[in-house]
Structure 1
Amino acid sequence: MTTTTTMAEVPGLVGTELGSSDWHEVTQEHVNQFADATGDHQWIHVDVERAKAESPFGGPIAHGYLTLSLLAPLSSQVLVVTDTVMGVNYGLNKVRFPRRSRSAPRCG
């Protein structure tokens, strides 16, 4: 389901469920491409065998910023504001990754 609204109606949506996006599989190739684009080749992301052996997660994990970058394409499947010309990312002041969900899938 996608919620379609106007900018004036957006504040009234606080606390409501808007819908859900399509599933998006994050593959190891996707993680490696992100590492190339950002220069972040930390082993926990790109070295599958080492991550399996040494990571507390049992395998490689996607970059936090890769996860955040998926918000743009996936959120447009959930919320459409009809009376805007464009959307601009205002910032991410309170984003934290305190722990991995037990049910969250690993990439790789």
Structure 2
Amino acid sequence: MREISLAEMPGLLGQEVGVSDWITVDQTMIDLFADATQDHQFIHVDPVRAAESPFGGTIAHGFLTLSLLSAMNFESIPKIREQTVGINYGFDRIRFVSPVRSGSRVRGRFTLADCRFRGAGMLMTTYDVAVEIENERKPALTASWITIVQFDPKDRPEGV
């Protein structure tokens, strides 16, 4: 995994900073997510009935696809050497553009849209993310994702 320093982050603004590996979203994953969230709508968990829907089969929950961003981020975005902890702060925008059919593969693309030093030991980052579906023109989702990088204040770059 590539590592960078806090001081390098502002220089990455506007750049794609990571592309994850493909993740297969199979029916087992969808069923387990349905159990965890108690969302057993037929388009997710009933292949026979879902085959008659406009989707032609079961599809992943939008929130399942969204939740995969954590794994995609962890494996593809450079690690900041000085980071002591990373925190999910939230989203400014999420759009579920295309359904993820059971058996599809998805991956995340991350572009650093903003980064601001806040307080003595915090960097707030905003990533424009897209979750692509293999062999599909439109993404599964797009989002503006805000995270917080905490670090020891003694590691704060000078001049910021």
TM-score by structure 1 length? 0.82
Given that 1:21 and 1:77 are in contact with CA atoms closer than 8 Å, whether structure 2 keeps it comes out as yes
Residue in 2 aligned with 1:33? 32
Q: Is 2:84 aligned against 1:85?
A: yes
Match of 2:69 among 65, 68, 71: 71
Find runs of 4+ consecutive structure 1 residues off by over 4 angstroms.
none
Q: What's the counterpart of residue 59 of structure 1?
A: 57
- In structure 2, the residue matched to 1:107 is 102
Query: 2-side partners of 1:37 and 1:59: how far apart?
Result: 21
Letter of the structure 2 residue corresponding to residue 59 of structure 1 = G
Q: Which has the higher contact order (CA 8 A, sep 6+)?
A: 1
Structure 2 gaps of 5+ residues are 104-160
Task: Report the TM-score, using the length of structure 2 for normalisation.
Answer: 0.57
Which protein is richer in helix relative to its size? 1
The number of residue pairs the alignment matches comes to: 102
Specify the alignment match of 2:4 in structure 1: 5
Read off the aligned partner of 1:7 and give its amino acid letter: L
The CA RMSD over aligned residues, in Å, is 1.8
Which structure 1 segments of 5+ residues have no match? none
Bigger Cα Rg: 2
Structure with the larger strand share: 2
Equivalence for 2:15: 16
TM superposition shift of 1:7:
3.0
CA distance in 2, matches of 1:81, 1:59: 41
- Structure 1 CA distance, aligned partners of 2:52 and 2:16? 40
How many angstroms does 1:37 deviate by? 0.3
In 2, distance between residues paired with 1:7 and 1:64?
33
The percentage of aligned residue pairs carrying the same residue is 48
